[in-house]
């Protein structure tokens, strides 16, 4: 077993641990690593989504087992998410999707600040049922185009609107399996699939971390969990803005 493969496993483990606990960052973390290694954006996104088919499946089962999934929210996200992912993967296979990154990052920066503010104030959680389907579509579209974005866009927006943190993270993670599968199938049809060692490493690390992330999501107190989501969104957004604008 090579050191490079172990690095892929470690990257997959760390990315899924953060994603499973806070509802975001697997795609961003893993895609950043692959782009650093020189893979083209389309190939990197296809590789990450292929690995995520396995990690998100384990994550979905784990979140359901720990009671983190809200069934109605899950259902509202799945179908538009699947459609958005397929369209995004098709577009990225033909046209680079980097042009929209600064706009998405600016939106997420605002959402992150809202979440951090709410984390330290008393806001009773509410059941968010409106505009969920369009949010799922846009989140999946951006995720496929940029190799990450489903969690940051969907989870952060729902939490900023007052949705329960644990149920949001769990439901978004559960729906992500179907979103990822849709993007992966489209990528395979358009680009084929290679870099099996990368896929295997990311998937192995992610599957090992998925139950731990779901457990942490169910057990962590709401205030630090919500603050962690907000801070992570802010940091990722600032990083994206810096890298794209400077």
pLDDT tens for 53-91 read: 888 888 888 888 888 899 999 999 999 999 999 998 888
Report the range of poorest mean pLDDT among 9-13, 101-105, 183-187, 190-194: 101-105
Phi/psi at 238 (5° precision): -65, -40
In terms of pTM, does the model score above 0.85? no
Q: Quote the pLDDT of residue 97.
A: 54
Mean predicted lDDT score pLDDT of the chain = 81
User: Which comes out higher in pLDDT, residue 8 or 44?
Assistant: 8
Positive or negative, the Cα torsion across 149, 206, 235, 21? positive
pLDDT digits (tens, 9 = 90+) for 105-148: 677 677 778 778 777 776 667 777 788 999 999 989 888 876 66
Domain with 133 in it: 3-245
Least confident segment among 70-74, 134-138, 165-169, 239-243: 239-243
Of all residues in the chain, what percent carry a pLDDT higher than 90? 12
Closest CA to 166 of 110, 225, 102: 225
Tokens of 147: 């190799």
How many independent structural domains does the chain possess? 1
Question: What is the Cα–Cα distance from 32 to 39, expressed in whole angstroms?
Answer: 10
């Amino acid at each position: 077993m090579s050191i490079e493969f172990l690095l892929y496993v470690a990257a997959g483990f760390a990315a899924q641990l953060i994603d499973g606990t806070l509802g975001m960052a697997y795609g961003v973390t893993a895609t950043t690593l692959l782009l650093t290694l020189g893979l083209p954006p389309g190939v990197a996104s296809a590789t990450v989504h292929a690995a995520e088919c396995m990690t998100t499946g384990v994550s979905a089962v784990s979140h359901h087992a720990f009671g983190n999934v809200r069934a109605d929210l899950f259902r509202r996200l799945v179908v538009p998410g699947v459609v958005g992912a397929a369209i995004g993967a098709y577009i990225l296979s033909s046209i680079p999707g980097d042009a929209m990154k600064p706009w998405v990052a600016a939106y997420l920066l605002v959402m992150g600040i809202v979440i951090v503010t709410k984390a330290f104030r008393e806001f009773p959680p509410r059941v968010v049922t409106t505009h969920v389907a369009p949010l799922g579509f846009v989140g999946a579209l951006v995720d496929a185009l940029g190799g990450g974005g489903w969690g940051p866009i969907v989870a952060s927006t729902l939490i900023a609107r007052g949705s329960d943190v644990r149920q949001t993270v769990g439901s978004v993670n559960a729906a992500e399996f179907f979103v990822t599968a849709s993007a992966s199938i489209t990528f395979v049809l358009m680009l084929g699939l290679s870099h099996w060692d990368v896929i295997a490493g990311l998937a192995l690390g992610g599957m090992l971390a998925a139950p731990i992330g779901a457990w942490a999501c169910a057990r962590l107190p709401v205030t630090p969990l919500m603050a962690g989501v907000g801070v992570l969104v802010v940091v990722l957004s600032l990083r994206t803005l810096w890298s794209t604008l400077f």
